[in-house]
Amino acid sequence: MITGVTQVRLVGDNVEQGIYSFRDAMHMADEQNLDLVEVSATADPPVCRIIDYQKFLYQKKRKEKEQKSNSRKQEVKEIRFGPQTDEHDYQFKLKHATEFLKDGDKVKSYVFFRGRSIVFKEQGEELLARFAHDLAEVGKPENTPKLEGKRMVMMLAPFKK
pLDDT tens digits, residue range 73-112?
Answer: 778 999 999 888 899 999 999 999 999 999 889 999 999 9
- The pLDDT mean for the chain works out to 88
Comma-separated ranges of CATH 3.30.110.10 domains in the chain: 76-158
CB within 8 Å of 76: residues ≥ 6 apart: 105, 106, 107, 108, 155
Select 7-69's CATH number: 3.20.190.10, 3.10.20.80, 3.90.76.10, 3.40.50.2300: 3.10.20.80
Q: What is the CATH number of domain 76-158?
A: 3.30.110.10
pLDDT number for residue 69: 79
State the Cα–Cα distance between residues 103 and 91, nearest whole angstrom.
19
Q: Which residue has the higher pLDDT, 149 or 14?
A: 149
State the alpha helices, DSSP H only, in the chain. 22-31, 53-70, 87-102, 121-134
pLDDT number for residue 155: 93
pLDDT number for residue 161: 63
Comma-separated ranges of CATH 3.10.20.80 domains in the chain: 7-69
